[in-house]
Amino acid sequence: MKIEESHVVTLHYSVYNTSEELLDSSHDDEPLVFMQGRGFVIPGLDNGLLGKQAGDKFTLKVASEDAYGEYSESLVQQVPLSMFEGMDVEPGMQFRATTDDGDIPVIITEVAEDEATVDANHPLAGLDLVFDVEIIDVRVATEEELAHGHAHEEAGCGHDHGEDDGCCGHKH
Ligand code: ZN
């Protein structure tokens, strides 16, 4: 079966930058299971899966605009150290900042005498990426999955089952 829009895909991946440094991989963990075309993975990977099938292994080059977007200077801000309420602020520290767009992860890139530079860009923003992909399984989504817009993994989907719908822990 070839991957079409909204099919449920199981795959392993490794992702590298253009200097062939490994950035992330699923191979030490469970493979990724998700519904194609619903934004669970970056657009370049999502679209690159169409027409592939179980057993396919391929390399996919994804430009930054189809990955984590361009690096934006407007997401870099100077914040007075007094905002950190006596915390020991050091470059490399990561935390979640509350913004108009919700909670987003940010990193401190520089600390000066009385202010810190806080960068809210995704760590992979501005980078072209190279994916090594291995398709493990492809199936048609169930009616329920299509209605929810996400995959329910086999054996009850693996999510927290505390929700009313009894299927998974996602918010619908
Ligand atoms: Zn669901």
Expressed in angstroms and rounded, the spacing between residue 172 Cα and the centre of ligand 1 is: 7
Is the confidence at residue 9, as pLDDT, over 90? yes
Position 10 pLDDT exceeds 80: yes
Mean pLDDT of 117-144: 96
Q: How far apart are CA 31 and CA 25, in angstroms?
A: 10
Angle at 128 between CA 124 and CA 132, to 5 degrees: 95
Closest CA to 43 of 9, 81, 69: 69
C-alpha 6 – ligand 1 centre gap (Å): 14
The label of the residue with tokens 């991946």 reads 13
Ligand 1 mean position, distance from CA 153 (Å): 10
pLDDT digits (tens, 9 = 90+) for 25-73: 999 999 999 999 999 999 999 999 999 999 999 999 999 999 999 999 9
Pick from 86, 90, 78, 77: which is nearest to 115 by CA?
A: 78
Q: Mean pLDDT in the chain? A: 89
Cα(128) to centroid(ligand 1), Å: 32
Taking the centre of ligand 1 as the mean of its atom positions, its distance from the CA of residue 20, in whole angstroms, is 37
Bridge partners (DSSP) listed for residue 131: 15, 60
Which residues are placed with Cβ below 5 angstroms of ligand 1, an ion? 148, 167-168
Ligand 1: centre distance to CA 162 (Å): 12
pLDDT bin (cut points 50, 70, 90) of residue 170 is low
Whether 13 contacts 32, CB under 8 Å: yes
